[in-house]
Structures are given as C-alpha cells and as structure tokens.
Structure 1
Amino acid sequence: MVSLFGGRIALVTGAGGGIGQAISRILARDGARVVVTDINEKELRIQSSSLINPNDHLALHLNVSDSSSVKSVFQETKNHYGNYPVLLAQAAGITRDNFLKKLDEKQFTEVLDVNLKGTFLVQKELITHLEESGETGAVVNISSIVAKHGNMGQGNYAASKAGVEAFTKSTAKELGKNGIRVNCVLPGFIDTEMIKTVPENVMSMLLYVTPLKRMGKPEEVAEVVSFLLSDKSSFMTGACIEVTGGLSV
C-alpha cells in the first residue's frame, strides 16, 4: 500500500476527542508521523499508544487558547523529530450550550477562545515555521454545519464555527502563493461524546430530516480530513466540505 504522507509530520489538535482521535488514527494509517495534542493528558497517552507504529508518534499537552502552550508544542515537536509539523488538523473544540437569556459572558468567551482563537493561534504558528523554511503544507480546520444554519442554545458555538469557516477562506487566499493550502470540514451530527448532550427528541427530529437517517461516524469525517491534507487534493484550497449525511440538502 502506497503511503499518502511518507512520514510527514502532522499535528492534530483535540486528539483526545472522538473526531480528533479518528483523524489521528487515519493519518497514522496513511503514513504520517502524528503529533497528538489535547488538554486532557490521560486521553492523549491512551490515544498515542493505540496508533499504528506507536513509536513514530508523539503525545503532547496543548491548550490551544494559550499562545505559550502552542509555541511550546511546536518547539517540542522540533526537538523530537528535528523538524516542525507541515500538516495540521484542528479538531479542538468545546461547547457551553445555553439559551441566550441564560448564556453568560464566561460561557460565550470560553467557546470562542478555544474554537476560534485557538484555531488562529495554532495555524499562525504553523505558518510562521513553514514560511521560514520555505516548505509547503496543508491545514484542515474543523468547523460545523451549525456554522451555516445556527442551532438553538448554541449561539456561542455557532458563532465560533462560522468564524472558523471565514478564517479558513481568508487565510487560504493569503497563503496560496506560498504553496500552503487551507480547507475546512463541516461535520453534521457525529456519534461522539459531544453529541450525547443533545436531547433525545431533538436527535430524533434531526435524524428524520437527514437523508441517510443516521449519525455519522468519526472515521467518516477523518477520511475527508486525510484527503484534504494529502496531495490527492493538491488543487483544493479555501474549500469547506460538509460531512452531514445530507442534513443541509
């Protein structure tokens, strides 16, 4: 089997969560050396050891909303491999759901700090090193279908993910001249821990209006991410691909 990535270094944020775990597994399967990062160190160790060729990979604690933490992860990666990452999959994300009248400033700010500010900080650090070295690279940011349509009780989350989509398109325009591609994926309702907070009656309604009549699997998102990071998508940048089972059709 031909390796898609040939040992290129890929950084995955949010690698302790369902989609991030799946992305890490698929990238390792496809021949990347994966730097799995998350704020949850226990989940990281489990995740790293479960990847194919576990000695090829590195597990590092990362708070994406803290610029010093971001810089530290890139330096530790360089110290370990001798090079910085050239591929980036940003799956770090949180929810703090509440209706507008009950949503407080802390809940709103926490979600934007992780989901949007974190996307900015990590991508900026990657780009800085890519441009210094003259290497090309690829980024995939994880947005959400909620970014396009909104969702009751998720004003903060929807706003953060809409920002990720806009940030992806803007930076794709900036970075294309340097051979750096930036795309994003908009998952629908995927079978992860995050989805378990959705009330059963709401989930039934969502499945009813989803043409494929089921939730997605994390691996189905991860396969698209791998494609977008690989040279198979070499003429794609600024694209935002929905993986929703047809929810928005």
Structure 2
Amino acid sequence: MNIQKNITKKVLVTGSSRGIGKQIAHDFEKNGNTVIYHGSSNSSLEKLNCNKSILDLRDTSNVVKWYSDIFKEYHGIDILILNAGIGIPETNIFDVDPEYLDDLIKVNIISQIYLATQHLKLVQQYNIFGTSIIFISSNAGIYPRSKFPLYSMTKNAMTYYLEILSKEFIKHKTRINIVAPGSIKTNMTDNAISNFSKENNVSEKDAELQLYSHINSMKRMGSAKEVSELVQFLASDKASFINGEIIKVNGGYYFE
C-alpha cells in the first residue's frame, strides 16, 4: 500500500450518525479533511451525503478486518475518533440484563480495544508517524454514576486502558487522548427532557435542570459543538505536546 501524507487529514469517527459524533465528523469535514462517517446500520446514515462505512460494533469478530479495509482503502487514517458507545439508565443494579451487559462490553470495551490496537499495528506496519487517537469517554468514566454503574464501568475501563497505551505508542509518535463530556445536549437528552417534563408535569427548563444541569457549577448543559472544538484542537498540530490526557468537558461537575 502506498501511504501518502497530505496536509488534509483522513479521519474516521465511529458512531457519527448523530449527536456528538456527527458534530465532530461535520467539523472535521468543514475544515477540509476527508471524513468517514460510521453507523451501525444503513438506515442510520442514509440521509447523510458523506463517505460512509457500516458496522454493528457488537459484531466484534469483524472489527479488525473492517478497520483494516478502511485503512487500506483510504491509504491510511490520520485521526481515529472512538466515539461509538451505548448505555441506558440501569434502574436496578441487582437485576442485570445479560444481553444488555454483553452488548455493553462488546461495543464499549472489546470493539474499542480492537480498533485502537489495530490502528497502532497498521501505523507501525506502514511506518506512519504523527497519527492521533481520541477516545470520547464520559464523566461517568471518571465519576461513577449511581444510575449507570455498568456503563460507568465500561467507560472507566477504556479511559484508563487508553491512558496506559498512550505511554507505549508515543514511541511511534501516535498521540492518544481522552475527552470526557458531561451533560451534553443531543437528540437523546432532548427526548429524555421532553419525556421527564410530561411525566412530572414540569417545564422542559425545569426538567433539564433536574436531570442534567444541577450537577455542574455552570447550571447548564453543554453542546456537541463545545465537545467537538476540543477534539479538533487535540487532533491538530497545536496539541502536539499533549498525550495521555483525560480532559473533562463538564461545566465544573459536582460528584454525586
């Protein structure tokens, strides 16, 4: 494979059909980069006019081949954004759904490990320097949430796994950093606010405060754009001396 290094970066953003991932992918594209959007199904990406790649990350047996094929098709990936993840409120910690737990571990841990390590194998194989991996973790990966114990566990595992990897693979000038968003406005949180408002007969503003905004000192939710701007910086040469860091975007979080 003939690898060519250009000013324009080649970027893969997992879980970029909506929310934070979609904003990150859009901003990289707007800045002139070649971006591959990823979704778990054709339907999740069908309305987007973009470079697309489909894989359900629960299918861990195909993750390595899938990423290798993309890497070779685009003659290398300069920036890998590990954004994809799943998680729902876990109302009863004593009643674990085995299927949910299995999916959670496959998507949030196993597939992430496979993607990160395969990227690092490929950049070594083709002698590529200066790439970047950014993992979109969560506040819950640093401050365990009582409503999300299993989700918190998976995010915590990957956060510190990648922090360890960052020390090893900087030898090949591949930087790894972790971004941990707090409460961010997305379609998912908007739906949760709307449902809470209706169920509890409160305004959507009060619903947002009770669900999300009360846990940070700024008393508001963040935007996907605010997360994306940090990611754009970390992936750039301006952040060339930043490696192995866990950077929180949470408005000054209060530990529950």
TM-score for the superposition, normalised by structure 1: 0.87
The counterpart of 2:184, out of the listed 184, 190, 201, is: 190
Checking the alignment, whether the CA contact within 8 Å between 1:86 and 1:126 is kept in structure 2 is no
The counterpart of 2:85, out of the listed 93, 98, 104, is: 93
Question: Relative to structure 1, is the Cα distance of residues 117 and 194 closer, same or farther in structure 2, using a 3 angstrom cutoff?
Answer: farther
What amino acid is the match of 1:78? Answer: K
- Superposition deviation, residue 134 in structure 1: 1.2
Q: Which runs of 5+ in 2 are unaligned?
A: 1-5, 198-205
User: In structure 1, the residue corresponding to 2:175 is in which secondary structure?
Assistant: strand
Checking the alignment, whether the CA contact within 8 Å between 1:112 and 1:156 is kept in structure 2 is no
User: In structure 2, the residue corresponding to 1:46 is in which secondary structure?
Assistant: coil
Which has the higher mean CA deviation after the structures are superposed, 201-210 or 93-102? 201-210
- Superposition deviation, residue 237 in structure 1: 0.7
- Superposition deviation, residue 73 in structure 1: 4.1
RMSD: 2.0
Checking the alignment, whether the CA contact within 8 Å between 1:169 and 1:182 is kept in structure 2 is yes
Between structure 1 and structure 2, the one with the greater Rg is 2
Look up the match of 1:204.
209
Q: Deviations over 1:138-166 (max 9, x none)?
A: 00001100112211221111001101210
2: CA distance, partners of 1:108 / 1:203: 28
Which has the higher mean CA deviation after the structures are superposed, 63-72 or 154-163? 63-72
Checking the alignment, whether the CA contact within 8 Å between 2:213 and 2:220 is kept in structure 1 is yes
User: After TM superposition, which residue ranges in structure 1, 4 or more long, deviate above 4 angstroms?
Assistant: 198-203
2: CA distance, partners of 1:63 / 1:45: 15
Listed as ranges, the matches of 1:33-48 within 5 Å are 33-47=34-48
The counterpart of 2:106, out of the listed 108, 113, 125, is: 113
Q: Deviations over 1:30-75 (max 9, x none)?
A: 222111111032232323x1xxxx5xxx201022342424422431
User: In structure 1, the residue corresponding to 2:154 is in which secondary structure?
Assistant: helix
Look up the match of 1:122.
115
Which has the higher mean CA deviation after the structures are superposed, 214-223 or 187-196? 187-196
Look up the match of 1:133.
126
Which has the higher mean CA deviation after the structures are superposed, 201-210 or 149-158? 201-210
Listed as ranges, the matches of 1:67-78 within 5 Å are 67-78=61-72
User: In structure 1, the residue corresponding to 2:221 is in which secondary structure?
Assistant: coil
Look up the match of 1:218.
224
Look up the match of 2:167.
173
- Superposition deviation, residue 86 in structure 1: 2.0
- Superposition deviation, residue 103 in structure 1: 2.2
User: In structure 2, the residue corresponding to 1:185 is in which secondary structure?
Assistant: strand
Look up the match of 1:160.
154
What amino acid is the match of 1:219? Answer: K
Correspondence 1:84 to 2:76? yes
Look up the match of 2:3.
none
What amino acid is the match of 1:127? Answer: L
Checking the alignment, whether the CA contact within 8 Å between 2:63 and 2:111 is kept in structure 1 is no
2: CA distance, partners of 1:17 / 1:129: 28
Checking the alignment, whether the CA contact within 8 Å between 1:75 and 1:84 is kept in structure 2 is no
- Superposition deviation, residue 202 in structure 1: 7.4
2: CA distance, partners of 1:167 / 1:60: 26
Q: Which runs of 5+ in 1 are unaligned?
A: none
- Superposition deviation, residue 187 in structure 1: 0.3
- Superposition deviation, residue 109 in structure 1: 2.1
User: In structure 1, the residue corresponding to 2:62 is in which secondary structure?
Assistant: helix
User: In structure 1, the residue corresponding to 2:217 is in which secondary structure?
Assistant: coil
Q: Percent identity?
A: 26
What amino acid is the match of 1:194? Answer: M
Corresponding residue pairs, total = 235
Checking the alignment, whether the CA contact within 8 Å between 2:17 and 2:38 is kept in structure 1 is yes
1: CA distance, partners of 2:251 / 2:9: 31
1: CA distance, partners of 2:105 / 2:232: 26
What amino acid is the match of 1:103? Answer: V
1: CA distance, partners of 2:208 / 2:87: 17
2: CA distance, partners of 1:218 / 1:86: 22
